[in-house]
Amino acid sequence: MAARLAVVFLAVSSAFLSVSGQKFNAIFSFGDSMSDTGNLCVNGPPAGLTLTQPPYGETFFGRATCRCSDGRLVVDFLAEKFGLPLLKPSKQGGADFKQGANMAIIGATTMDSGFFQSLGIADKIWNNGPLNTQIQWFQQLMPSICGSTQACKSYLSKSLFVLGEFGGNDYNAQIFGGYTPEQASGQSATIVDAIGKGVEQLISLGAMYVVVPGVLPVGCFPIYLTLYQTSNAGDYDQYGCLKRFNALSAQHNSLLQSKVSSLQSKYPGARIMYADFYSHVYDMVKSPGSYGFSTNLRACCGAGGGKYNYQNSARCGMSGAYACSNPSSSLSWDGIHLTEAAYKKIADGWVSGAYCHPAISA
């Protein structure tokens, strides 16, 4: 009898560990340039897209792969950690997506085009696959991934979903369209509500493990530090970041955390995780040496211009731009996105729970 119980216990433990230990069937990713592994370039990159040029991709792939970094992204490291292949872009024809697919696309927003039209800034977005559209792309793939509706419910319940980050481009469009950070913050509740609805859509399809990242401290990014630099020392915090822009990100994240908390209560059977992009990156800015970085506010790849090595007219991948000799010592890759080294640390923080609540791996 004891031996039989032991066998049953082991069987139950193995089944439990396959989920609690996070041996996922697949990873499905949604988002923007922080996550895109090639969707924008599947049918040929748009003219003038610099990230298809060296030195993008040089650290890991040895070539540009349409990723906005020198190498792998957070979703790549998550796939590696859980023994899954790197995520193929969902627009890649004829691919097998049973172990994962990436719906993320560069320039993606949370909100649909009508939102930006209502603000008079429709010309400031690419709107390549906003959140609702990406979920539609995923639904179109589902029959080839898991078959029937019931089979998909089972399969997707043991898969990991990463929803974002979303929101960054919604705010970028407003800021570049002439809105102040304070004015843009007036749209935060609408944007966060849309993200929450996206989470609920995925749960309705069968998702049980959903990571919802917040937005980053853009006031610490070379693009913002260059374009919106001022002579007023009071506009900067003690680490050299622009306070108004970080306040916008912080407000979004506060609302998003509350939204995630309410969803956790509404769906107690699901594991909905808030990934704290902001705090982790800001900690790297505050103590770069602790993370192995020698530079935190200066882009690794650029034309060498200015305090932050960012110039719109000579961005990474453009003529005259070049990468620093050791990208792994930099937090920022091109002034807009992070280095592979930073993304690896972020993925580690999400899996361990240091910067993800609850942890992916617990």
Catalytic residues, by residue number, are: 33, 334, 337
And the tokens for 249? 């990100």
For residue 270, CA distances in Å to 127, 157, 264, 352 come to 30, 9, 7, 19
Residue with tokens 């990571």: 211
Residue with tokens 């304070």: 182
For residue 258, CA distances in Å to 33, 200, 214, 263, 304 come to 25, 15, 12, 9, 41
The CA-based angle 18-137-25, given to 5 degrees, is 10
Peptide bond into 89 cis (omega under 30): no
Residue with tokens 């594991």: 271
Element (H, E) at 53: none
For residue 294, CA distances in Å to 164, 287, 337, 352 come to 28, 10, 17, 25
Element (H, E) at 160: strand 160-163
CA-CA-CA-CA torsion for 234, 307, 170, 126, nearest 10 degrees? 160
Q: Which of 178, 161, 4 is nearest to 78 (CA)?
A: 161
For residue 163, CA distances in Å to 121, 209, 249, 314 come to 25, 10, 17, 32
Residues 68 and 334: beta-carbon distance below 8 Å: yes
